[in-house]
Chains A and B, each alone.
Chain A
Amino acid sequence: MKGAGVPTDRRAVAAWNASVAVEELGGGSHPVALLLHSEEGPDHDQPFARAIAETHRVLLPSHPGFGGQPRVPRIDRPVDLAYLYLALLDAYAVDACVLVGASLGAWIALEMAAMEPRRFSALVAIGPIGLKFNGRTDLSFAEVLVGSQDAISQLLYSDTAHDVWRDRKETDDVIRRAEQRESLLHYGWEPYLHNPRLRHLLARVAMPALLVAGADDGLVPDGYYAAVAGALPDARVVSIPDAGHFPQIEQPARTVSHVVQFISGGANRPLSLSAKGRRP
């Protein structure tokens, strides 16, 4: 993995009456990428962040309730986290940046992109949750909040040997996993892992978007990523073989390659009317 030598700093940033733990990676002259980690926690997206930091100044905040941070009263839904991170960008005086999120982080990124579409030049959503396209008797996502560790692992990972919690029996690890599962549950219990309004807001997400899908993702229903792409004005899907719901964890090199190419290349083109004419 690239990025071993990038400068790293950690600080607590005041935003929206909360204190957000932020890891800053990469040079200050690079364009900014806000990286929103998955429900496996900030530590497990850190190697991915270091690779992106080769070309970008990466801001990696820990979601309240993850990475050892406490949850914040009245931040109960991913849409609340989206407001928190818009305030965080305000605190950094970042007016334009790239948004990258994985799973829960991608859900938050989509909420942010719908709120302030002109602020983001490109969006990368790796295994986004948060959206429901199937019917009312179809579960929006497979059950991963209440289930055995083995069953959950099999849904989320192509190879359960890659499960970041596998064989971690130390008390600190058991507590951290439990805290993070509780926080995912808190943010996504009902409606189950989605915001019914978000699907209809995706038409506002006008910036170029890359959807990264694990080819063996057992969490999402059939046809999910195609449906997400279809609801976005300018999106394409890349499928990562031998990866489940967290391609950035299971296949980091392949995932980084697609993401870096996207956010360093054409995705940074100036905003203009798209060929489909759907850009605002």
Chain B
Amino acid sequence: MKTWYFSECPYPALPDASTYDSIRVSLPSRNYDPAVGAKLYDMYLDLWQQADEVGLNVMTNEHHATATCLVPAVPVIAGILARTTRQARILILGNPIANRRDPLRVAEEMALIDNLSKGRLEVGFVRGVPFEVLPANSRPTGMHDRMWEAHDLILRAWETHDGPFSWEGGWHHRYVNIWPRPYQQPRPPVWVTGTSPSSVAPIASRGHTMACFVTGFDATRVLFDEYRRHFALANDGAACPPDRLAYGVQVYVADSEEKARQGAMALRWYFDANKVPPYLATPPGYTAPSRMATTGTSTAPIPQARQAKGQPFEWLTGKGVLFAGTPDQVVSQIRAFYNSVGGFGHVLMMGHAGAMTYDQAARSLDLYAKDVAPRLDDLMTASPAPS
């Protein structure tokens, strides 16, 4: 099992939530104090460095116009990590390529970071959450097609080394010839998030690593099974290696159960603070009309992450959206989840959220690296291979 530490880099120093309608899209930036925020960036970068020093990998992501995530340009952060970390592999999950205006620029950014890190980059592509369509002014219809065309263009740009090629589809480039080319050959491993069963096939058929975030026991099993089925279909019935499946989850390890509960409640800020009006969560076009009519029913259940708001510790661990406790307890929670969903190869560990301090997050990282990670080694020993 490989573990990747990440933080969304939140800005928790906000006024009472009753004073604003949404933490995303419309919250005025006057609520961001640069003196406070600039120090937060130091802490977040230090935590990634600490994760590297204790032997974990690191993961970064990006969101826009939101206090939940202060990274609107993930290549900038990953470029810093390429120099401040030594051993960790660096996962970007991901680049919102259905919303980026120029996929070629993404190809160049990723190739540059891959060189800066001497081949430690893993590149994730995401459709982007619904709240992103307004900040990006990205038309919510056709996002799936845009994402996969951008993906195809980026991979072609990485893998073509004999001079310019042309691309005239949804995007237009007459001379594609990126410098530098990626450090890893033919390219960095590719990840894509899986959100619904219908999104899985194109990920699995390409053999890219699929990550599911806080989808809990039942939905994760469905998504992982769907991946395994499509992987086998595309590979003459071959079994899917566990390193193609990843689970994103909140993790907090502590010396005592009491401290673990405190850490878990600090992590819950990620769920609690996500105040967003329904019309931003389900813009027309992003959500299929048939699903709009069934939101909240068994056909289209409320996502686990939205249900998790304000839930007690036992609910969060019981649903598998949080692994927290002493090292023994966390090992047993991860192993139980592993067995329940049919196996996977990566824990994407949200180990910091909200107003958690450096010491609080760093202690959990230390304990995880020392007393949890070694006891998960037998779950998956395959070395990473480009998908």
- Shortest CB-to-CB span from B42 to chain A, Å, is 35
Interface string of B290-324 (1 = CB under 8 A from A): 10111000000000000000000000000000000
> In the complex, what residues of B have CB within 8 A of residue A190's CB?
137, 139
In the complex, what distance in Å separates the CA atom of A174 from the CA atom of B297? Answer: 14
A182 interface contact, C-beta 8 A = yes
Main secondary structure of the interface of A (DSSP, over half): helix
> In the complex, what residues of A have CB within 8 A of residue B133's CB?
146
Given A174-B293, A175-B290; A182-B285 close (CB under 8 Å): yes
Q: B121-157: which residues lie under 8 A (CB-CB) from chain A?
A: 133-134, 137, 139-142
B283 interface contact, C-beta 8 A = yes
Whether the Cβ atoms of A179 and B139 lie closer than 8 Å is no
Whether the Cβ atoms of A182 and B141 lie closer than 8 Å is yes
Whether the Cβ atoms of B284 and A181 lie closer than 8 Å is yes
B279 interface contact, C-beta 8 A = yes
A118 interface contact, C-beta 8 A = no
- Shortest CB-to-CB span from A265 to chain B, Å, is 40
B163 interface contact, C-beta 8 A = no
Interface string of A155-172 (1 = CB under 8 A from B): 000000000000000010
Given A186-B141, A190-B139; A178-B284 close (CB under 8 Å): yes
B139's contact among A174, A175, A181, A189, by CB below 8 Å, is which? Answer: A189
- Shortest CB-to-CB span from B24 to chain A, Å, is 12
> In the complex, what residues of A have CB within 8 A of residue B278's CB?
148
Given A148-B278, A148-B279, A190-B137; A182-B293 close (CB under 8 Å): no
- Shortest CB-to-CB span from A92 to chain B, Å, is 30
A147 interface contact, C-beta 8 A = yes
Whether the Cβ atoms of B290 and A145 lie closer than 8 Å is no
B280's contact among A146, A186, A189, by CB below 8 Å, is which? Answer: A146
Which residue on chain A has the smallest CB distance to residue B283? A146
Whether the Cβ atoms of A185 and B140 lie closer than 8 Å is yes
B277 interface contact, C-beta 8 A = yes
Whether the Cβ atoms of B134 and A146 lie closer than 8 Å is yes
In the complex, what distance in Å separates the CA atom of A181 from the CA atom of B286? Answer: 11
- Shortest CB-to-CB span from A251 to chain B, Å, is 27
Which residue on chain B has the smallest CB distance to residue A191? B137
Q: How many residues on chain A are close to B (CB under 8 Å)?
A: 18
Which residue on chain B has the smallest CB distance to residue A179? B289
Whether the Cβ atoms of A178 and B289 lie closer than 8 Å is yes
Whether the Cβ atoms of B279 and A147 lie closer than 8 Å is yes
In the complex, what distance in Å separates the CA atom of A175 from the CA atom of B294? Answer: 9
Whether the Cβ atoms of B284 and A145 lie closer than 8 Å is yes
> In the complex, what residues of B have CB within 8 A of residue A176's CB?
289
- Shortest CB-to-CB span from B223 to chain A, Å, is 25
- Shortest CB-to-CB span from A153 to chain B, Å, is 12
Whether the Cβ atoms of A178 and B280 lie closer than 8 Å is no
Q: A27-60: which residues lie under 8 A (CB-CB) from chain B?
A: none
Whether the Cβ atoms of B289 and A146 lie closer than 8 Å is no
Whether the Cβ atoms of A178 and B292 lie closer than 8 Å is yes
B284's contact among A146, A148, A171, A174, by CB below 8 Å, is which? Answer: A146
Whether the Cβ atoms of A185 and B292 lie closer than 8 Å is no
- Shortest CB-to-CB span from B298 to chain A, Å, is 14
In the complex, what distance in Å separates the CA atom of A186 from the CA atom of B279? Answer: 17
Interface string of B91-114 (1 = CB under 8 A from A): 000000000000000000000000
Whether the Cβ atoms of A186 and B285 lie closer than 8 Å is yes
Given A146-B134, A146-B279, A146-B280; A174-B141 close (CB under 8 Å): no
Q: A72-115: which residues lie under 8 A (CB-CB) from chain B?
A: none
Whether the Cβ atoms of B289 and A175 lie closer than 8 Å is yes
- Shortest CB-to-CB span from A172 to chain B, Å, is 8
Whether the Cβ atoms of B279 and A185 lie closer than 8 Å is no
> In the complex, what residues of A have CB within 8 A of residue B290's CB?
175
In the complex, what distance in Å separates the CA atom of A179 from the CA atom of B134? Answer: 19
Whether the Cβ atoms of A178 and B139 lie closer than 8 Å is no
> In the complex, what residues of A have CB within 8 A of residue B137's CB?
189-190
Given A146-B134, A174-B293, A175-B290; A182-B279 close (CB under 8 Å): no
- Shortest CB-to-CB span from A152 to chain B, Å, is 9
Whether the Cβ atoms of B277 and A148 lie closer than 8 Å is yes
- Shortest CB-to-CB span from B160 to chain A, Å, is 28
Q: A164-211: which residues lie under 8 A (CB-CB) from chain B?
A: 171, 174-176, 178-179, 181-182, 184-186, 189-190
- Shortest CB-to-CB span from B386 to chain A, Å, is 34
- Shortest CB-to-CB span from B277 to chain A, Å, is 7
- Shortest CB-to-CB span from B25 to chain A, Å, is 9
Q: B245-295: which residues lie under 8 A (CB-CB) from chain A?
A: 277-280, 283-285, 287, 289-290, 292-294
> In the complex, what residues of B have CB within 8 A of residue A178's CB?
284, 287, 289, 292-293
| Highest count of chain A CB atoms <10 Å: which of B137, B140, B280, B293 | B293
Given A146-B134, A147-B279, A175-B292; A182-B284 close (CB under 8 Å): yes
23 residue pairs from A and B, CB less than 8 Å apart: A146-B133, A146-B134, A146-B284, A171-B293, A175-B292, A178-B287, A178-B292, A178-B293, A181-B284, A182-B140, A182-B141, A182-B284, A184-B284, A185-B139, A185-B141, A185-B284, A185-B285, A186-B142, A186-B285, A189-B137, A189-B140, A190-B137, A190-B139
| Residues of chain A having any CB pair with chain B under 8 Å | 145-149, 171, 174-176, 178-179, 181-182, 184-186, 189-190
Q: Beyond A182-B285, A190-B137: 20 further Cβ-contacts under 8 Å?
A: A145-B284, A146-B133, A146-B284, A147-B279, A149-B279, A174-B293, A175-B290, A175-B293, A176-B289, A178-B284, A178-B289, A181-B284, A182-B140, A182-B289, A185-B140, A185-B284, A185-B285, A186-B141, A189-B139, A190-B139
Top-10 shortest CB links A-B? A178-B289, A189-B139, A174-B293, A181-B284, A178-B292, A182-B284, A186-B141, A179-B289, A182-B285, A146-B283
